[in-house]
Amino acid sequence: MSVSQSVVLRPSGPVRPLDRRVLGLAGAGAGGFVLAGVYQLSGGRIGIPCLLHATTGLNCPLCGSTRMAAALLRGDLDAAWHFNPVVLVLGPLIGVAVGYQLVAWSLESLHLIRLPRLTMSPRAVDWAVKGIIALLLVYGVARNLH
């Protein structure tokens, strides 16, 4: 990961576009918390069932994510950890990076300040995605070994 530029007050000129992957991750994160809020407000009656769990009884790597986010909305970190510890750790890390990118782009679009943007080479992105997928697969297998 590298920083692509320095801080500039009142920037002028064209604004570097936001990476579509950042927007996709932001949308998925926001949608997940909306779903968690609906789940919480409905008393657990409204949610998205996991097809793997419904058909096999096994938990996928993301099983418990809605309940985990609902527990976070209640401020219950212990329950959130027990529902899905991997997503509890990865989610905020990814959320902070995505949030920073959105704030940096927004401030630059308003011509207030240009903050350094985080960039990753295509190779680094490829390795990060593969690493996260491998971690989730290992976790998915491990959580079903009991």
Q: Is 90 helix (H, G, I), strand (E, B) or coil?
A: helix
- CA pair distance 143, 139, nearest whole angstrom: 6
**Which tokens go with 136?**
């989730």
At residue 133, the pLDDT reads: 95
Please state the φ and ψ torsions of residue 118, each to the nearest 5 degrees.
-80, 130
Q: Residue 25 corresponds to which amino acid? A: L
Which tens digit of pLDDT belongs to each residue from 16-53?
899 899 999 999 999 998 999 999 899 988 888 889 99
Residues 123, 127, 130, 131, Cα dihedral to 10°: -170
Please state the φ and ψ torsions of residue 59, each to the nearest 5 degrees.
-95, 130
At residue 27, the pLDDT reads: 95
At residue 5, the pLDDT reads: 62
Q: How would you write the pLDDT of the chain (146 residues) with one tens digit per residue?
A: 555 468 888 888 888 899 899 999 999 999 998 999 999 899 988 888 889 999 999 999 999 999 999 999 999 999 999 999 999 999 999 999 999 999 999 999 999 999 998 888 999 999 999 999 999 999 999 999 97
